[in-house]
Amino acid sequence: MEKQNQLISVVIPVYNQERYLDRCLKSVLNQTYPNLEIICADDGSQDRTKKIIQKWAKKDSRVHVLELPHSGVSICRNRGIEASGGDYLLFVDSDDYIGKNMIEILYENILRLDADMCVCGYFECMKKAVKRHSFLPSGVYDTGDYRLYKDGSGAAFSDVNRMRFYHARSHAGVFFGAYIKNNGTEKPAGF
């Protein structure tokens, strides 16, 4: 399979996020990596969320709407995974926004290192401070089951088929879609 310019599915679980959703969708739609499909899984929102998603879907054909009964964020992610057609997956929470070149940087690391997934840290923006979260210092980590390359732009796993589950925030990386779809990585309801 050709790895250049593969489709990346961005799954956004949404519930009553009219306050933040425009900013989130703008950050995803304005990515420097253009080959995206954006799946907004609406968890039965009771506010203007559904109208906001539909407005964006009319403006940009990359935006797709899944209307679901209220059942929780994990079910929304799972239905988004099922509906995705991309070679890779990225999860973004609807009250978050991402840097303009985040997807491009993560995807370039996947190509450069011939990796199956790439994860990154994140910033927590609070009223009076911004806190940076990173899960590992730079370096190469080799457990015998998988190899992890970590530098300032993210961490890439070289063999996701042999790795044990690596706990990272689900919205902090690009993941090989076929692995997630084929290996039962669904989150239980309430997770």
CATH of 8-182, one of 3.90.550.10, 3.30.1330.20, 3.20.20.70, 3.30.1130.10: 3.90.550.10
pLDDT of residue 115: 74
Q: Which residues sit opposite 157 in a β-bridge?
A: 117, 148
CB 19 within 8 A of CB 48: no
Angstrom distances, CA of residue 169 to CA of 87, 92, 145, 172: 20, 10, 21, 5
The yes-or-no verdict on residue 160 having pLDDT over 50 is no
Average of pLDDT values for 149-173? 46
Segment 14-58, tens digit of pLDDT: 999 999 999 999 999 999 999 999 999 999 999 999 999 999 999
Average of pLDDT values for 123-149? 55
pLDDT of residue 122: 58
Give all strands (DSSP E) within the chain, no chain letters.
8-14, 36-42, 63-67, 88-91, 117-119, 122-125, 130-133, 139-142, 147-151, 154-157, 173-176
What's the half-sphere exposure (Cβ side, CA atoms, 13 Å) at 151?
10
pLDDT of residue 121: 67
pLDDT of residue 102: 86
pTM of the model: 0.77
pLDDT of residue 163: 37
3-state DSSP assignment of residue 46: coil
86: which DSSP letter? -
Q: Could you identify the residue written with the tokens 């990596």? A: 33
Segment 59-114, tens digit of pLDDT: 999 999 999 999 998 899 999 999 999 988 888 989 888 889 888 988 888 888 77
Q: Answer with the residue of higher pLDDT: 86 or 185.
A: 86
pLDDT of residue 13: 95
The yes-or-no verdict on residue 117 having pLDDT over 70 is yes
pLDDT of residue 95: 87
The yes-or-no verdict on residue 178 having pLDDT over 80 is no
Domain ranges of the chain: 8-182
